[in-house]
């Protein structure tokens, strides 16, 4: 069996069902080989006589139609995996497996925009250059009022709104917008395309001239390149303090996290410990830090796995305060194995420890500054700005 390379080892923040739902609701395509005719060996021809006997009884006595062999075999695999009592060692069917690969590569059916809170309860858009939204006439700063005629609610999160914008490639979506500085509403109909979605978004915080904002939505193959680029651009715009937003980030690719951490930590600083059944490996930050100013990290219950590793490393080394709510708490690492029918096997092969050698399973990280979410406002970001203004964000 060919094992995925280290760059394809994941640290996801929720059990597989949560991962699949993430792709359904929030969202290089990898495609498996043609479906194989999977089967259970006949008695005397395989190593599983008990299973053979049980299945032969079923085939002889069952009243009704049997599902295809591939479906039956996946069911058998899932039954075996359930005995491990590990919610992260799972089998994904071909369609969710392909969605996972699309998500991690940054490809999805969408319109090519980033969302951000422009003011209390109002979401603004920034179109990706040459994306469907930009070509249709969406301008930076346009306020999003409705999607397909359904008005946005003040209680909706950015993630929920993003989910409404995504869909099947080729499908249409209608946006109701208000141009910045006007009261007139306009309607645009866009066609969703296969879009390369950046894993990050960044900007200067509105109402400030020296606070940058960097959000990592998911750790994908693009993130190690995007984070340094974002920090350089924010520094050029005059950022002296930085908000790193990891809320709702359920993890993703663990490879090259040392590069991302190295943007904020000195070379050689411990990012995490990778512990398998037989060995322990210390992962260290690499490169020279690009940003050494005041830093806060926004976290919540959706901050999990890879994002928890980064948040813990920044706090353990005294680089950042955590603001928001308790994180999810997941310390296991999964390796991915593609199977011949296009399905994907996730196998827990290691756990990680924080630089302080803490395992976070079921515990998570407690914020230094709690900030409960409020409808139509960003309480955590407001707390971060207050922290900067008071000069309390250096530990």
Q: What are phi and psi of 145, to 5 degrees?
A: -105, -35
User: Residue 92 and residue 108: Cα distance in Å, rounded?
Assistant: 18
Which residues lie below 8 Å from residue 5, measured CB to CB, with a gap of 6+? none
Nearest to 111 by CA among 24, 191, 186: 191
Question: DSSP secondary structure string, 272-312?
Answer: EEEE-SS-EEEEE--S--S--S-EEEEE-TT--THHHHHHH
Q: What's the pLDDT band for 161 if we cut at 50, 70, 90?
A: confident
CA angle centred on 114, ends 386 and 209, rounded to 5° = 35
> In Å, how far from its chain's centre is CA 260?
15
Tokens of residue 55, six digits: 């299945």
* pLDDT score of 394: 61
Choice between 98 and 222, residue whose per-residue pLDDT is larger: 222
* pLDDT score of 22: 28
Answer yes or no: are the C-beta atoms of 287 and 344 closer than 8 Å.
no
Instruction: Specify the DSSP class assigned to residue 187.
Output: E
* pLDDT score of 113: 83
If DSSP codes are grouped into helix, strand and coil, which group holds residue 96?
helix
Active-site residue, from 274, 316, 341, 368 = 316
330 is annotated as an active-site residue: yes
| Burial classification of residue 376, based on how many CB atoms lie within 10 Å of its CB (0-12 exposed, 13-18 middle, 19 or more buried) | middle
User: Residue 332 and residue 36: Cα distance in Å, rounded?
Assistant: 31
Q: What are phi and psi of 340, to 5 degrees?
A: -60, -25
pLDDT-wise least confident of 3-7, 26-30, 389-393:
26-30
Nearest to 287 by CA among 267, 271, 317, 260: 267
Instruction: Specify the DSSP class assigned to residue 8.
Output: G
Digit-coded pLDDT (tens) for 302-317: 898 999 999 999 999 9
237 is annotated as an active-site residue: no
pLDDT exceeds cutoff 70 at 11: no
* pLDDT score of 165: 87
Digit-coded pLDDT (tens) for 88-145: 898 988 877 877 777 676 666 788 887 777 766 688 888 877 889 999 999 988 999 9
Q: What's the pLDDT band for 239 if we cut at 50, 70, 90?
A: very high
User: Residue 124 and residue 180: Cα distance in Å, rounded?
Assistant: 9
List of domains in the chain: 110-196 (2.30.42.10), 200-389 (3.90.226.10)
* pLDDT score of 335: 87
Question: DSSP secondary structure string, 314-348?
Answer: HHHTTS-EEEES------EEEEEEE-TTS-EEEEE
Digit-coded pLDDT (tens) for 31-86: 222 223 333 344 445 557 888 888 899 999 999 999 998 888 889 899 999 999 98
Active-site residue, from 330, 331, 341, 368 = 330
pTM: 0.70
* pLDDT score of 138: 93
Choice between 182 and 65, residue whose per-residue pLDDT is larger: 65
Nearest to 304 by CA among 332, 280, 272, 262: 332
* pLDDT score of 2: 37
Choice between 77 and 9, residue whose per-residue pLDDT is larger: 77
Digit-coded pLDDT (tens) for 257-296: 999 999 999 999 999 999 999 999 999 999 899 999 999 9
Active-site residue, from 70, 105, 199, 305 = 305
52 is annotated as an active-site residue: no
Choice between 297 and 118, residue whose per-residue pLDDT is larger: 297
Digit-coded pLDDT (tens) for 324-376: 999 989 999 888 899 988 889 999 999 999 999 999 998 999 999 999 877 77
């Amino acid at each position: 069996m060919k094992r995925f390379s280290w760059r394809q080892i994941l640290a996801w923040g929720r059990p597989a069902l949560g991962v699949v739902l993430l792709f359904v609701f929030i969202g290089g395509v990898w495609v498996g080989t043609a479906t194989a005719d999977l089967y259970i060996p006949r008695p005397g021809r395989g190593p599983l006589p008990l299973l053979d006997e049980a299945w032969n009884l079923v085939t002889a006595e069952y009243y009704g139609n049997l599902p295809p062999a591939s479906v039956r075999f996946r069911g058998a695999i899932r039954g075996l995996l359930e005995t491990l009592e590990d919610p992260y060692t799972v089998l994904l069917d071909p369609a969710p497996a392909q969605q996972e690969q699309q998500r991690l590569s940054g490809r999805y059916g969408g319109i090519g925009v980033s969302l951000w809170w422009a003011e209390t309860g109002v979401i603004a858009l920034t179109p990706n250059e040459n994306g469907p939204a930009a070509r249709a006439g969406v301008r930076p700063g346009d306020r999003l009022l409705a999607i397909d005629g359904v008005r946005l609610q003040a209680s909706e999160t950015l993630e929920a709104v993003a989910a409404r914008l995504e869909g099947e490639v080729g499908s249409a979506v209608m946006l109701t917008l208000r141009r910045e500085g006007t009261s007139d509403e306009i309607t645009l109909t866009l066609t969703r395309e296969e879009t390369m979605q950046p894993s990050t978004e960044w900007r200067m915080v509105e109402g400030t001239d020296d606070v940058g904002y960097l959000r990592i939505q998911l750790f994908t193959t693009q993130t190690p390149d995007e984070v340094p680029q974002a920090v350089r651009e924010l520094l050029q715009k005059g950022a002296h303090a930085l908000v790193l937003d990891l809320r709702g980030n359920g993890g993703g690719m663990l490879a090259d996290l040392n590069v991302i951490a190295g943007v904020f930590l000195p070379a050689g600083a411990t990012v995490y410990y990778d512990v398998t059944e037989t060995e322990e490996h210390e992962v260290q930050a690499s490169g020279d830090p690009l940003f050494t100013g005041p830093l806060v990290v926004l976290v919540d219950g959706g901050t999990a796995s890879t994002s928890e590793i980064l948040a813990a490393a920044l706090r353990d080394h005294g680089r950042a305060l955590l603001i928001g709510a308790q994180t999810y708490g997941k310390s296991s690492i999964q390796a991915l194995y593609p199977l011949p029918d296009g399905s994907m096997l996730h196998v827990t092969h290691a756990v990680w420890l924080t630089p302080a050698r803490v395992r976070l399973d079921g515990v998570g990280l407690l914020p230094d500054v709690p900030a409960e979410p409020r409808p139509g406002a960003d309480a955590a970001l407001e707390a971060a700005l207050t922290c900067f203004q008071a000069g309390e964000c250096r530990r």
